[in-house]
Structures are given as C-alpha cells and as structure tokens.
Amino acid sequence: MMQQEQTYREAIRQRFLAVDSSNVADVLDTLGLPDQGLAPEFAPQSAEGARMAGWAYTIRGQMTPFPLGGDADKMKACQGLSPGEISVWSGDGEGICYFGELIAIGMKERGCAGALVDGGVRDLRWIAKQQFPVFARYRTPVQSIGRWKVNACQVPVMLRGATARHVKVEPGDFVLADEDGAIAIPAAVVEKVLAEAERLTSVEVSIRSELSKGLSLAQALAKYGHV
C-alpha cells in the first residue's frame, strides 16, 4: 500500500473514532441503506475495547473436523492484515472461539485496529492487557482447533444483522463499533457518511452546550430540529 493511501486511510479512521455509531446509522438511513447495523449480540469484550474503527479485512471459516495441531490457514490469513484494518471474522462456529490471545497479539503487531467476530473469543483477560479492541457475539473457552477452520480471506462475508438476517461486508468496507453496537459502511459511501455524521455530531455538541446553559429541550428542538 502506498504511503499516501495509508495516510488517507488513517485520517479517515481517526475521524470516525470521533463520531457515534448512532449518527452513522441515521446517515445510512437517509442514503437508503437501513440494514447495515450488526446484531445486538456484538459487544465489546473488555473495557479497553469499547470503541474501534477501521477498514474491513475479512476472514471466513466453517465447522469441519480436522486433527489437532493448529490451523495454518488462520495464521496465513492474519499475516495479510495491514495497519488500520479491522479483522472481520465470519462463519458457522457456534459455541467455539475463533481466536484468543496469541492471534490477537499477532494482529496487533501488524497494526490491526481491532477484531469484529461473528462468533466467540477467549483469553479475554490477556487480550485486554494488550489493549486490543474486540467486539464479538459471545465468549467461550472452547478452541477452534479440530472443530472450525479458516477457508478464505478477503472475500465478501455475511454477518448477523440487527434489522436484517445478515449484513454483507466486503473487503475495504468500513467498520465502526462503540457502546451502542457495530455497523458496517459500504466502501462506496464511506466519505459521504463520515462528512454527514460529523455534521450531526457538531449539531449535537451545540445542543448539549445550550441545554447545559438552561435552554429547554423544546427550545433546542425548535432551533435545531430532530437529530
């Protein structure tokens, strides 16, 4: 990746960290993209990881019995991560974890900005010490080795959705997750969504300021309209 592109991507990522997923969801509604929110089960798995933003790097797997001894395809997939990307894990691995502490360390070493897991994770106490944000649907001590295997990376994946059964996430889409949940932003509208979300954020800041100075909620709504 060229340095100029990396600088641009990181600037976008930092700006997204200053807006809320709720504002992003509202903007997507106005663009005719109402089903980009991920299932409410996606939640931060440590206090250090309550907010993350980054470009989607997708990893897909499936339940399949195989001998113990590791998952070379998982390690290979993680080696493709670049700075500022979110590893987006999809698959059918109910009840098992997709990765733990050591994979998280490897991702962090490559500059990965966090992980979004449509499945389980473990070693949370140790991942938290790495200050590596992880949003996942559940936690479990049961490993994936011998049960669930990575079969592709950087392909379109389907994650469980909030208002639709699934949300399609493609490599290069943008992921934002915070205390309210997680949402996927198609690559084609990232800049447009960001600019409008920043505008809404600015309006909300003004409203909070005026409310703190004594303006009533009715007066604020009359002045600023619905936000």
Residue 211 inside a domain? The answer is no
d(CA 190, CA 197) in angstroms, rounded, equals 10
d(CA 54, CA 50) in angstroms, rounded, equals 14
Q: Both ends of the chain: CA-CA distance in Å?
A: 38
Cα 209 to the chain's mean position, in Å? 30
Cβ-proximal residues to 65 (8 Å cutoff; 6+ apart), any chain: 146, 147
Q: Does 187 score more than 70 pLDDT? A: yes
**Rounded to the nearest 5 degrees, what angle is found at the Cα of 188, between the Cα atoms of 204 and 200?**
5
32 annotated to bind ligand: no
The b/e string for 41-72 (b: 16+ C-beta within 10 A; e otherwise) is ebbbbbeebebbbbbbbbbbbeeeeeeeeebe
Is residue 115 within 8 A of residue 135, CB to CB? The reply is: yes
Assign 220 a pLDDT band (cuts: 50, 70, 90): low
Q: Does 207 score more than 70 pLDDT? A: no
- The pLDDT tens digits of the residues spanning 63-73 come to 998 888 878 88
User: What's the structural domain count of the chain?
Assistant: 1
* Domain span at 10: 3-190
Residue 213 inside a domain? The answer is no
Residue 45 inside a domain? The answer is yes
Residue 205 inside a domain? The answer is no
Residue 200 inside a domain? The answer is no
37 annotated to bind ligand: no
Cross-strand partners of 61:
150
The CATH number assigned to the domain holding 183 equals 3.50.30.40
95 annotated to bind ligand: no
127 annotated to bind ligand: no
Is residue 13 within 8 A of residue 53, CB to CB? The reply is: yes
Three-state SS for 151? strand
173 annotated to bind ligand: no
- The pLDDT tens digits of the residues spanning 76-134 come to 999 999 999 999 999 998 899 999 999 999 999 999 999 999 999 999 999 999 999 99
Residue 196 inside a domain? The answer is no
Is residue 54 within 8 A of residue 113, CB to CB? The reply is: yes
Residue 212 inside a domain? The answer is no
Query: Counting Cβ atoms within 10 Å, is residue 133 exposed (0-12), middle (13-18) or buried (19+)?
Result: buried
Residue 72 inside a domain? The answer is yes
Is residue 80 within 8 A of residue 1, CB to CB? The reply is: no
Average pLDDT, the chain: 91
- The pLDDT tens digits of the residues spanning 171-182 come to 999 999 999 999
- Predicted local confidence at residue 176, as pLDDT: 98
48 annotated to bind ligand: no
- Predicted local confidence at residue 223, as pLDDT: 64
